[in-house]
């Protein structure tokens, strides 16, 4: 893995952790480097309301901007049913629960390796005990 790939993987994991902190559900990270050339990772998550995923989108953009990352694209924000945030090497997809199943990106990218991350809420619920991975580790 090159330094660039490590950086994009770390960004994908950081995005997933920020989404988890704001109570988005079913967070998944897919390593799509071998399948498409336009990005390295997809981060996918679900929220219950448009206002929730719009708020989380704002939070994610603010936190990443403060860490030096520039968003290059934003789609779907005004409708709030499916928001796409493009950070070049990482693309974040935020769905309303009912829309996620319709687009079924997990089926489309299901052959791609999933990347593990340590969800912060799980750590807090366990009293700060060791991190647990939500998905199997990618190779």
Domains detected in the chain: 3-119 (3.30.460.10)
Q: Measure the CA–CA gap between 6 and 10, rounded to whole angstroms.
A: 6
Q: Any residues with CB less than 8 A from the CB of 84 and at least 6 apart, and which?
A: 73, 74, 75, 76, 91, 92, 93, 94
Q: What is the pLDDT of residues 63-112, one digit of tens each?
A: 999 999 999 999 999 999 999 999 999 999 999 998 898 777 776 777 88
Q: What is the pTM of this model?
A: 0.80
Q: Measure the CA–CA gap between 75 and 78, rounded to whole angstroms.
A: 8
Kindly tell me if the per-residue pLDDT of 52 is higher than 70.
yes
């Amino acid at each position: 893995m090159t330094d660039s790939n490590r950086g994009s993987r770390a960004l994908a994991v950081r995005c997933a952790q920020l989404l988890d902190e704001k109570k988005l559900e079913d967070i998944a990270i897919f390593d799509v480097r071998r399948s498409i050339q336009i990005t390295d990772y997809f981060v996918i998550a679900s929220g219950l309301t448009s206002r929730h995923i719009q708020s989380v989108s704002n939070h994610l953009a603010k936190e990443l901007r403060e860490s030096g990352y520039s968003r290059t694209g934003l789609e779907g924000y005004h409708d709030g049913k499916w928001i796409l945030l493009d950070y070049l090497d990482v693309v974040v997809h935020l769905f309303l629960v009912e829309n996620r199943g319709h687009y079924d990106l997990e089926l489309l990218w299901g052959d791609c390796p999933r990347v593990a991350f340590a969800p912060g809420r799980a750590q807090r619920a366990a009293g700060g005990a060791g991190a647990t991975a939500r998905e199997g580790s990618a190779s």
